[in-house]
Structures are given as C-alpha cells and as structure tokens.
Structure 1
Amino acid sequence: MKVRTGSFFLVIGILALLTGCQGKEGGPKQHETLLFGATYMTRNNPYFDVLNQGIEEVVEANGDILLTRDPLQDQEKQNEQILELIDEGICMLFLNPVDWEAVSPALDACKEAGVAVINVDTVVKDRDSVVSIIETDNYQAGQLCALDMMKRKKSANIIILDNPIQMSITYRAQGFTDAIAGNDSYRVVYRHAAGGEIEVSSKVMEEILRANIDFDVILGGNDPTALGALAALQQARKEEGVLIYGIDGSPDFKAILDMGYVTGTSAQSPKSIGRVAAETAYRYLAGETVEKYISLPSTLITRDNLNHYEIDGWQ
C-alpha cells in the first residue's frame, strides 16, 4: 500500500499534539516542548513577578514555554484568561486566584479539558480541583507579627487591613488575632478590606483617619497594604508612634524598614514558591505522586535583624 509522505507527517504531527502533556498515566515525552500557563491576581505587586520568575526558570531549563497572564484583580477576566490558555493548548496551569471561590468555573473548565492545576500562594476553595497547593505558612506569618507587637507594647489598639476574597491574607489576619485572643490589652478596633494594593490601602487609611479612630498598630495583609497605610499617615503627619507590620519581605518594605518608618514584615520567598510549584508540576507529569499541600515557613524581619537580609532582593 502506498502512503503519501505529506499525509504521514500530518498524522504524526496530530499524534504529537495529542500526547504532548500527559498526566500521571504516561508522563511527558523526552524531547517535546510543553506549554504551561500561569495567571496571578495582579502583576501590580512585584511579589508575583518574582514568583513567576521562579516558575519560569524551571520551565525554561526544561526547554518548555510558560505563558503568563495578568487579570488586574478581576476574577471574571481571570476566568476568561484561563479559558484562553486552555484554547492555546496548555497542559498545566499555575493559578493564583483573584477570588478563591469565584474562580470555580475556570477550575471546572480545566478539569473538563484535562489541564492539571497547581495552586500557588493563596488557596482556592475547591481544593479537590487542584493537584497541589504551594504557599507560605500564612497563619504563622500573622502570628509572628502579633508576637513581635506584644514584645514592644503592653497594650494596643489595632487596625487590620485585610482582603477577604484572598485567603492568604485572611489566614495571616487569623494568625494575628488568634495570637492576641484572650488578652484584653490588645484590641482590634477596626478592620477593613484594602485590596492588597498600595493605592487602595492608602485611600482606606485616609477614611480611617477622617473617622478619628484611636489606634497605634496597623497590620497590613501584605507589604503593599502596609506601605499604602504608611503613605496616608505620612501625608496626614500622623505616623509618629504607630507600629506598622506588613507580610512579604519585599525589597521596598525592607528599604523603608531600614529607614525606621515601619516595624516589621513576615518574609516569604516567592521565588522558592515558584520553583517548588514548577518542580511539583514536572513530578506530576512524570507520573509521580505529589504532595497535596506544601507549606513554606515565614521569617519575621525587623530593623534588629535586617542586616542578615539582602535589602534590595527577596529571600
């Protein structure tokens, strides 16, 4: 039987596409290029740029490609971007959701398309829909801030600037409030969502100042939130005597910490999260059993130990 050469190579090409990114059954082929997708709640926070670098380094070292998307804190847009990534042929998605619950339709679409999901930095509500979750111990991060505050002050009126749709920040706030629970000397006098961004946090802080709420401690759900609060306080010239805590260990925060304007930050290593996420993805694709939940420890950085850390970089 005579087979035309063009038809033969067309069939081979189709088969290569169909087998390009297999899961636990088969593992990836040795020499074919795999396509990965990544989407983060925002790229308006350098933390996610560094996290993405960690993933990208591992992916590119394996000769593969990472497509990255930024939904700008819009869950509907993120869901649309995930559908686009599926259409582009990704075999694995690295997901940092805008809204831990409203991302569910996109997770369903991934399941239907056979695209495995690695959940990074903040958890999704439907944990069964993801292969693995890799994040910092956010509860511990909040605890560390509270314990440091209690060493510095015998009593405090506390403002918490959180972001309820982002579970990493919710767990940080929970760790903080659990650490002070049962001690009437420490009171949370106001709590408000601040979007996890400098601009939003600054506006929220301006409203708090106009309300004449008495406080002397601020917990920002992340470093940008804490820096936004600081900006509003400085604009009003009311920063004196206020302890300000962030969570991330970002270069910007450490530089401000070195100047003495903020108190401390529970540091994360976004590059480590990215690398672990990518390595976990490759193990899964190779057919190995991977851990369902991976938690990386946090470290409190204050001015007292800042000299042990690189100011202009992440841990």
Structure 2
Amino acid sequence: MKKLTTLLSAALVSATMTAGAYAQDTLALVISTLNNPFFVTMKEGAEKKAAELGYNLIVLDSQNDPAKELANVEDLNVRGAKVLLINPTDSDAVANAIRLANRASLPVLTLDRAANRGDVVSHIASDNVAGGKMAGDFIAGQIGDSARIIQLEGIAGTSAARERGAGFAQAVSEHNFQLLASQPADFDRTKGLNVMENLLTGNPNVQAVFAQNDEMALGALRALQAANKQDVLIVGFDGTEDGIKAVQGGRLAATIAQQPGEIGAIAIETADKILKGDTVADHIPVPLQVISK
C-alpha cells in the first residue's frame, strides 16, 4: 500500500510538472489576417521555429478587425500563453489589445507593424522607410527622373503604410517624380484592381506604379492589362511567392522583398530569450532586398 501511495504521489508530481511546463512553453501569435500570403508565410516561419525550440504556438486570426483582435488577446488569458506576438490590424487600435496584455503582465512583441501606444518589449520588422526609398530609386533607375507615378497605399493607420510612403516620398523628392495620384487600396488585391482602374481614367499617361505591397501590385497589373497598358512599370513590396513569380514572368518589374518567414522565426527566438531572462533589443530589423528579373 505504501508503495502504491508513493507511485501515485510521483505520478501526481509528474503531471503537475508537465502541466506547468506546458503552460510555460505556450506562445501566442495574433495575426492581422491570414487572407494574405505574406502573413501566412510569417505564421509558417513562426510555427517552424516554435517546433524547433520546443514551444507550443497558438495562432489566432484577427481577420483585419480590431474588435476581433482584442477578443483574440482576451482569449489568451485562459490559454496559458507566456508571450504575446502580435501583428497589429492597426497601429492605433492595437493599443487596447496591448494594454490588456500589459495588465496581465504578458510580454508583447510586435511583428511587421508597430503599435503607437502600449508597452512593447521589442518590434521585429523590415526597415519600411528604406524599402519605400529602394522602390523609388529602382523606378528612377529604370525610367529616369521626373517619371509620372501613381502610388497605391496600404491600410491607413498602419505603420507599414506610413513608413513605406515616407520612404517613397524621399525618392519622389530626390528624383523629381510627378506623383499623379496616391490613394489607399488597403493592401488588398481586389481593391488594388478597382483603385487602379479608377485612377487610370484621369491619369492615362502614367509611366510607373508603386504599390505598397505585392497584393495591390498584382491587382494594379490586372487593371493595366485590361487597359492595354503593358508598358507601365510596376513595383510591389513584400516579396511574396506570387509577387516573385510575377517578377520572374516579367509582369512586375520588381518587388522589395521582405522575409516574412524570417520575421516569424526571429519573433519566436526573441520570445525564447525573454522567457530565459535575456535582454533583447527594442527594435530588431530584418534585411530587405530588391528582386527584379
């Protein structure tokens, strides 16, 4: 009987330790949307690194809705997550979700898009300002200064759209581009198509398009093809699989390639360091490159 009691006690201790370890080993990744190849690749990079380092990773899709984003973070209180990795739907609106995590003493890392308020341990992203400037410099190298340009902007209020636009504005000024129009298409392929169709009506003499992500670039491509304007140079941003294929096929001139999988992987590595008590940088840049044919 004594031996049985000892065995039961050992089993109970083992189960308790296992449950505790499981809770400590759980990370949460809240993604703005999984209806975008860029963020799917980011998720996959995070999942691969989490498996490699022995973490359980919860992935939640905010569906580009700040209210859903907040609900996702609220849900983490009962899911045992020890670090929150969040790719904001909006740099302002995400503050509510981050403050909720702050109150729960949950360390927060932001991915790709920054948060304008709330306590964040580290921001992991490409240098979007540099990327926007790279896009403009590439256009100048292909067409020359004073080129007639249309810009398709991302979701207003996101740091990515603001920073890419700021970098491109530097190139516009430096190369004396004629910016015919600059309008949001919300990082969406269908909206990129519709906005480009509308802008072409008043700007038929456009020479180049800078789209702040590949999805909008591919939408703009369809609009230009339908208008029989295959000579218009298009530059996207992100280096998604579809974007790179379009560059290789000669349909897009270039894409400013981020490494979304690397962003996800570095985020997991950073969370691992935090849980081990290591110091991490408040901003961790991920390199960019121009991909052209």
| Number of aligned residues | 286
CA deviation after TM superposition for structure 1 residue 32, in Å: 6.5
TM-score (norm 1): 0.83
**2:160 maps to 1:168:** yes
- The answer to whether the Cα contact below 8 Å between 1:169 and 1:222 also exists between their aligned partners in 2 is no
- The answer to whether the Cα contact below 8 Å between 2:224 and 2:232 also exists between their aligned partners in 1 is no
CA deviation after TM superposition for structure 1 residue 209, in Å: 2.3
**2:126 maps to 1:136:** yes
SS at 2:181 equivalent: strand
CA deviation after TM superposition for structure 1 residue 61, in Å: 2.2
- The answer to whether the Cα contact below 8 Å between 2:150 and 2:209 also exists between their aligned partners in 1 is yes
Change in Cα spacing, 1:158 to 1:13, as seen in structure 2 (3 Å) is same
CA deviation after TM superposition for structure 1 residue 232, in Å: 1.4
- The answer to whether the Cα contact below 8 Å between 1:33 and 1:65 also exists between their aligned partners in 2 is no
Q: Deviations over 1:127-179 (max 9, x none)?
A: x5111111011111111111111111232111111122221132112111112
Give me the whole-angstrom Cα distance separating, in 1, the residues matched to 2:69 and 2:214: 23
Aligned counterparts, 1:29-178, within 5 A: 34-126=25-117, 129-154=119-144, 155-163=146-154, 164-178=156-170
Q: Give, as a single letter, the amino acid of the residue that structure 1 aligns with 2:86.
A: L
Structure with greater proportional helix content: 2
Give me the whole-angstrom Cα distance separating, in 1, the residues matched to 2:274 and 2:225: 49
Overall identity of the aligned pairs, in %: 31
**2:283 maps to 1:293:** yes
Give me the whole-angstrom Cα distance separating, in 1, the residues matched to 2:116 and 2:14: 40
Give me the whole-angstrom Cα distance separating, in 1, the residues matched to 2:175 and 2:244: 30
**2:172 maps to 1:180:** yes
2:227: which partner in 1?
A: 236
- The answer to whether the Cα contact below 8 Å between 1:33 and 1:63 also exists between their aligned partners in 2 is no
Give me the whole-angstrom Cα distance separating, in 1, the residues matched to 2:217 and 2:48: 30
Give me the whole-angstrom Cα distance separating, in 2, the residues matched to 1:98 and 1:141: 21
CA deviation after TM superposition for structure 1 residue 285, in Å: 0.6
CA deviation after TM superposition for structure 1 residue 120, in Å: 0.7
Q: Deviations over 1:99-138 (max 9, x none)?
A: 0001111111101112111111111112x51111110111
1:260: which partner in 2?
A: 250
User: Which ranges of structure 2 fall in alignment gaps of 5 or more residues?
Assistant: none
CA deviation after TM superposition for structure 1 residue 33, in Å: 5.5
Give me the whole-angstrom Cα distance separating, in 2, the residues matched to 1:288 and 1:198: 41
- The answer to whether the Cα contact below 8 Å between 2:180 and 2:203 also exists between their aligned partners in 1 is no
Give me the whole-angstrom Cα distance separating, in 1, the residues matched to 2:218 and 2:268: 30
Change in Cα spacing, 1:84 to 1:7, as seen in structure 2 (3 Å) is farther
Q: Give, as a single letter, the amino acid of the residue that structure 1 aligns with 2:151.
A: I
Give me the whole-angstrom Cα distance separating, in 2, the residues matched to 1:102 and 1:12: 43
Q: Deviations over 1:261-303 (max 9, x none)?
A: 1111111111111111111110011011111101112110111
CA deviation after TM superposition for structure 1 residue 182, in Å: 4.7
User: Which ranges of structure 1 fall in alignment gaps of 5 or more residues?
Assistant: 21-28, 304-315
1:275: which partner in 2?
A: 265
Q: CA RMSD in A?
A: 2.4
